[in-house]
Chains A and B, each alone.
Chain A
Amino acid sequence: MDIHDDKPRVLLVVPAYNEEGNILSVVRQITEAGYDYVVINDGSTDGTLRVCQANGLNCVDLPINLGIGGAVQTGHRYALEHGYDVDIQVDGDGQHDISYVPRLLEEIGRGADLVIGSRFVGESGGFRSTLLRRIGIKWLEGCIRFVTGLTITDCTSGFRASGRRAMSLFASSYPCDYPEPESIVTAHTHSLVVREVPVIMRERQSGTSSINALRSVYYMVKVTLAVLIEGMGQRGGRK
Chain B
Amino acid sequence: MGVTLRLMLACFCLLFFFAVVRLVSRGRLQLKYSLLWMAMSLALILCAVAPDLVGAIAKLLGIGLASNFVFLVGFVILLGICLSLTVIVSWQSRDIRQMIQHLALIEKRLSDADDPSDRDATD
Query: In the complex, which residues 14-31 of chain B have their Cβ closer than 8 Å to any Cβ of chain A?
Result: none
- The residue on A at minimum CB distance from B112 is A58
Q: Which of B101, B103, B107 has the most CB of A within 10 A?
A: B101
With A58-B118, A77-B105, A81-B105 as contacts: A64 and B123 at CB distance below 8 Å: no
Is A236 on the interface with B (CB-CB < 8 A)? no
Q: Which of B97, B104, B107, B120 has the most CB of A within 10 A?
A: B104
A-B contacts, 9 listed (Cβ < 8 Å): A58-B120, A60-B104, A62-B101, A63-B103, A74-B104, A77-B101, A77-B105, A78-B108, A82-B120
Complex partner residue of B101 from A36, A59, A70, A82, CB under 8 angstroms: A70
Residues of A within 8 A of B107 (CB): 60-61
Is A226 on the interface with B (CB-CB < 8 A)? no
Residues of B within 8 A of A64 (CB): 100
| B interface, CB within 8 angstroms of A | 97, 100-101, 103-105, 107-108, 118-120, 123
B122 smallest CB distance to A (angstroms): 11
For the complex with contacts A58-B118, A63-B103, 8 further pairs of A-B residues with Cβ separation under 8 Å are A40-B104, A61-B104, A66-B101, A73-B97, A74-B105, A78-B105, A82-B120, A176-B97
Is A83 on the interface with B (CB-CB < 8 A)? yes
Q: Is the CB of A73 within 8 A of B101?
A: yes
Q: How many of A's residues come within 8 Å of B, CB to CB?
A: 19
Question: Complex: how many Å from CA A59 to CA B120?
Answer: 12
A163 smallest CB distance to B (angstroms): 20
Residues of A within 8 A of B123 (CB): 82-83
Question: Complex: how many Å from CA A74 to CA B107?
Answer: 13
Question: Complex: how many Å from CA A78 to CA B103?
Answer: 12
Q: Is the CB of B108 within 8 A of A60?
A: yes
A91 smallest CB distance to B (angstroms): 19
Query: In the complex, which residues 172-194 of chain A have their Cβ closer than 8 Å to any Cβ of chain B?
Result: 176
Residues of B within 8 A of A176 (CB): 97
Residues of B within 8 A of A73 (CB): 97, 101
Question: Complex: how many Å from CA A74 to CA B102?
Answer: 8
